[in-house]
Amino acid sequence: MSKSTSDSAVRNISANEPFSAILEKSLSRRTLARGSLGAALAAMTGAALSACGGGDGDSPAAQPGTGGGGGTGGGTPEAPKLALGFQSLPTSMTDACVVPAGYVAQVLGAWGTPFDDIAQPWSRDGNNTSNDLLHSTGMHHDGMHYFPLQGSSTEGLLAVNHEYIDETALHPAGPTQVNGKRPAEEVRKEINAHGVSILHIRLQSGRWSIVKNSRYNRRFTAATPMALAGPVGGTASVRTPFSPNGRQTRGTNNNCGNGFTPWGTYITAEENWAACFVNTGTQTRDQKRVGIQAAKGRYLWETAAGDTSEQIGEFARFNITATGADATQDWRNEANGFGYLVEIDPYDPSSIATKRTAMGRFAHEGSAYAPPVAGKPLSFYSGDDSRFEYLYKFVSTAVWDPKDADRTDRLAVGAKYLDQGTLYVARFDASGKGEWLALAEGTKNAAGRTLKEEFGSIDQILLNTRGAADFVGATPMDRPEWTAAHPTSGEVYVTLTNNTSRNASRGTNPANPRLNNVNGHIVRWRDQADSNVFQWEIFVFGSDAGADADTNRSGLTALNQLASPDGLSFDGRGILWVQTDNGIDGGRNNAVAKSTNDQMLAVIPPSMPATPGSGPVINNGNQGDLRRFFVGPNEAEITGFAFTPDYKTIFLNVQHPVNWPAYDSEDATAAPSGKVRPRSSTVVIQRKDGGAIGV
């Protein structure tokens, strides 16, 4: 996301900062040399190098993925040790992408690319219609996943999030108003540019392309009807004139990071949705806590209300001010249908997207699951990306049955695991230990008052997830973004992108130990079996290479300096891919931004020791193991990661470039010859020799 949609307000006014008094105690500023990562990896085999199952049918069993393994049995005794096989790239600041020698990068599915013959081709003048966008890729690509067809590494379904819009690029001459009202067609176009694309893609002669008119191709927008499942679905809090029984809502919005499931569905995360809604009356405490606007919505969609073409309040619903006698007479409950993880079955074009409310309501960044264990509950992790917000874990009530991975009624499987369970929030303690605090009705705060006494039943607790987390004393974090789970070890990582509001009066805590955290960091943890306790340590601190030792605690160099880590994904082999969103579109305002465009780096992390060390895992002794693999074009963020089962193709997204891609080339490394209308796009990376990526 760019600064234009990020919520920079501090909405957490709780006193939670339980360990500011013991500032810095747990974290030594010494960057302890712990030996190279390579040496630590000597203990690992090439596990999962052959992890791609050879399944047939449209089954997730045929897909590789983080957390999808469930054992280290994929390797053979002779399997080579996993090691990065490319040299770290230098920094770059151009209108082009950069990849290592021996690699190629292709533009695929840039904003406005038609996937059928209904849509008109993308117009360089911004003249496409709202209807064109229902049949084309949306704007501002973000989280993403590759779902193989029949286990194929050359044909599959690419699910892509479209996080937000650049109104200037979307319309011929930017957004307009007539007498203070947005034109209905402009608003529909903006709504349709949001959401998710499901794209049938195929590799032929070394080039990936969209299979036009495939039955799989479809768009979910900020207006597509969706189901509301879990404890909030069907309650009085979500009844609207559109859905009097509260079982449906329209649209998914500001879809940032993603997840996927062991049964082959996609999860899209609703992040900065709250600012699309306005309540000019008295706001409820959950509305204040999530950031509903008080004067006007972000895009003024509500101003198109009353247009003669309006259907069932399609514009009026963005104004949630209570004006009628009850919830059937106004849109007071409309925003309660947003802020969730949304499950999509990409393999079934007739399926309805389903919001899984049991997993909490906040600015969801994404979702990663720990490797499933037969007979045990499933765990899904999700960050709430805003300043001083929290890290969450959802644990299913149902225990994992491996046969469910092969079922074709995937959304029924989703209902089994994702509609009943317990949502937890993390408290990081100074000892390198932490605890997951249940957001359940009976959980008490420090004063002995239960969540039910404070908020009501579980649906009310979930609606105000942030307030409930405040109540139980969770640890405020430096903007938790993506989570990523190692494919086999059970270790989970979270990017904490930055927090320049962490000042002296707010204080630090062991997991967020730097004041004015411009550069961000990554924390990892391992849950203790059958317990709410976890063990954690800091993996890497972002910094520019020239910073002093107090800032550059990981000793980063010109070849891996990074700031604002955001996208984070493991591939099935155990390579961790780190992507950055350093706000370069807001001006090159920090030292890393002055040195390089946003980037993707790779590292093969060593296992967590039994007792976490006191310094970051990446340190002066192992700089060569964190390597820059990709640099994007000027002003763009790098986000979203997917790979084919054979690891010979990876996909990433370039979001909000300023002057890219070139008009007449699919080569992502080509700079335009002049000024172009910029387009976010997927970039496909392959090796010229056809080998596996990264090794």
Judge if the upstream peptide bond of residue 661 is cis by omega within 30 degrees of 0: yes
Size of the site for ligand FEO (CB under 6 A): 8
Residue 204 neighbours by CB distance under 10 Å: 9
Structure tokens at 650: 């990876």
Question: Which of Ca ion, ligand FEO, none binds 345 (CB below 5-8 Å, type-dependent)?
Answer: none
For Ca ion, which is the closer residue by CB, 256 or 693? 256
Task: Give the separation between CA 170 and CA 189, rounded to whole angstroms.
Answer: 8
Minimum CB distance to Ca ion smaller for 69 or for 383: 383
Task: Tell me: does residue 302 bind ligand FEO (CB under 6 A).
Answer: no
For ligand FEO, the binding residue among 7, 132, 163, 544 (CB under 6 A) is 163
For ligand FEO, which is the closer residue by CB, 163 or 470?
A: 163
Smaller CB distance to Ca ion: residue 256 or 290?
Answer: 256
Rounded to a whole number of angstroms, the minimum distance from the CB of residue 164 to ligand FEO is 8
Closest CA to 139 of 657, 628, 666, 605: 657
| CB closer to ligand FEO out of 455 and 482 | 482
Q: Residue 188: name the closest of 242, 250, 267 by CA.
A: 250
**Which among 441, 434, 507 is positioned nearest to 474, based on CA atoms?**
434
**Of 399, 657, 337, 382, nearest to 492 (Cα)?**
382
Q: Which helix (H) or strand (E) holds 227?
A: strand 225-229
Of these, 84, 256, 395, 584, which contacts ligand FEO (CB under 6 A)?
256
Which span (514-522, 563-571, 613-621, 653-661) binds Ca ion, by CB under 5 A? 563-571
We find the least distance from the C-beta atom of residue 657 to ligand FEO, in angstroms, to be 16
User: Based on the number of CB atoms within 10 Å of its own CB, is 167 exposed (0-12), middle (13-18) or buried (19 or more)?
Assistant: middle
Residue 385 Cβ vs ligand FEO, minimum distance, rounded to whole Å: 3
Q: Which is nearer to ligand FEO, 366 or 421 (CB)?
A: 366
Closest CB to ligand FEO among 256 and 275? 256
Contact present, 98 and 631 (Cβ < 8 Å): yes
Indicate if the alpha-carbon torsion angle 544, 545, 550, 554 is positive or negative: positive
Q: Are 341 and 293 in contact (CB under 8 A)?
A: no
Considering only 459, 581, 598, 625, the residue that binds Ca ion (CB under 5 A) is 581
Strand blocks (E) in 404-527: 421-428, 433-438, 480-485, 491-496, 521-527
Q: Are 254 and 301 in contact, with CB atoms under 8 Å apart?
A: no
Binder of ligand FEO out of 166, 186, 286, 385 (CB under 6 A): 385
Stretch that binds Ca ion, among 455-463, 546-554, 576-584, 625-633 (CB under 5 A): 576-584
Residue 549 CB, shortest distance to ligand FEO, in Å, is 29
**Contact 508/514 with Cβ under 8 angstroms?**
yes
| Mask for 237-256, x = binds Ca ion (CB under 5 A) | -------------------x
Quick note: the x/- pattern for ligand FEO over 430-469, rule CB under 6 A, is: ----------------------------------------
Residue 163 interacts, among Ca ion, ligand FEO, none and using kind-specific CB cut-offs from 5 to 8 Å, with: ligand FEO
Site stretch for Ca ion (CB under 5 A), options 195-203, 450-458, 581-589, 652-660: 581-589
- The reply on whether position 365 binds ligand FEO by CB under 6 A is yes
Provide DSSP, 318-352. Answer: GB----SSSTTSS-TTGGGG-SSEEEE-TT-TTPP
Asked if 566 touches Ca ion (CB under 5 A), the answer is yes
Residue from the set 7, 17, 132, 271 that interacts with ligand FEO by CB under 6 A: 271
CB of 523 to ligand FEO, least distance (A): 16
The set of residues, in sequence order, having a beta carbon less than 8 Å from that of 665 and lying 6+ positions away, is 107
Cα–Cα distance, 565 to 542 (Å, whole number)? 7
For 618, phi and psi rounded to 5 degrees? Answer: -85, 125
The footprint of ligand FEO on residues 554-613 (CB under 6 A) is: 566
Q: How far is the CB of 289 from ligand FEO (least distance, A)?
A: 17
Shortest distance, position 495 Cβ to Ca ion, whole Å: 8
Which residues here bind Ca ion, judged by CB under 5 A?
A: 256, 566, 581
**Contact footprint for ligand FEO (CB under 6 A):** 1, 163, 256, 271, 365, 385, 481, 566
